[in-house]
Amino acid sequence: MPRLADACPYAWPVGGNWCAVDTALLVIDMQRDFLDPDGYFAALGENAGELRDAVAPAAQVLMLARELGMRVIHTREGHRPDLADLNETKRARAQAMGAPIGSAGPLGRLLVRGEPGWDSVAEMAPVGDEIVVDKCGNGAFHATDLDQILRANGIRNLWLLGVTTDVCVSSTMREANDRGYDVLLISDACRAATPALHEATLAGIEREGGVFGAHISSSALVKAVC
């Protein structure tokens, strides 16, 4: 397929045409712990409702990727039930915010694998052979086999969406860029705790001719591809 001219700040991908075979969709942390008012994010005092605005555009892009036959990979942030993978800095930070990781919440233990809050929201749930990568940090490449999965499947380019724009999504985009992937962030299919944080992240992407990749709206993406 031809480059996406409406992407900002460059027509994506930078190297020329792309195809569904060498492009994967990464769905970052579309979990109840972040998107539900009873989840971990809300327990930190943040506005989970702001993040919910990403769900409808994200679901549209997910459907498009499935129709194109692209590889779809979901990530979920969470810790082992025994919290053996929870470092002291992250533990102390969550505790100071009044939401200790592993403590009891309305959706089970906060940010713990296997609990109801750790699951994907219904609109973004994995289907069929879609891969799920479980992570204990912000970036999806940290302490996971994501890079191995992408390379084993011949993936060179990435579509990226999820929550939150400024933390897990941005961390993953930066990590992917350092590994040589050309990343296209779907701007309205991501959200942060505040619009200002979201917009600042997009502005940062645009620096230096697209220092970490490019971004595009879901509507522009669908129009270009369909």
- Find out whether the peptide bond into 164 is cis, omega within 30 degrees of 0: yes
Rounded (10°) CA dihedral 135, 19, 210, 31: -30
Which residue numbers are catalytic? Answer: 29, 135, 168
Asked if omega into 126 is within 30° of 0 (cis), the reply is no
Nearest-5° Cα angle at 58, 94 to 131:
75
In sequence order, what are the residues at sequence separation of 6 or more whose Cβ sits closer than 8 angstroms to the Cβ of residue 185?
160, 161, 169, 173, 202, 205, 213, 214, 215, 216
Per DSSP, the three-state class of 219 is: helix
CB 131 within 8 A of CB 144: no
Q: What whole-number distance in Å separates Cα of residue 180 and Cα of residue 204?
A: 19
Give CA–CA dist 77/7, Å, rounded. Answer: 28
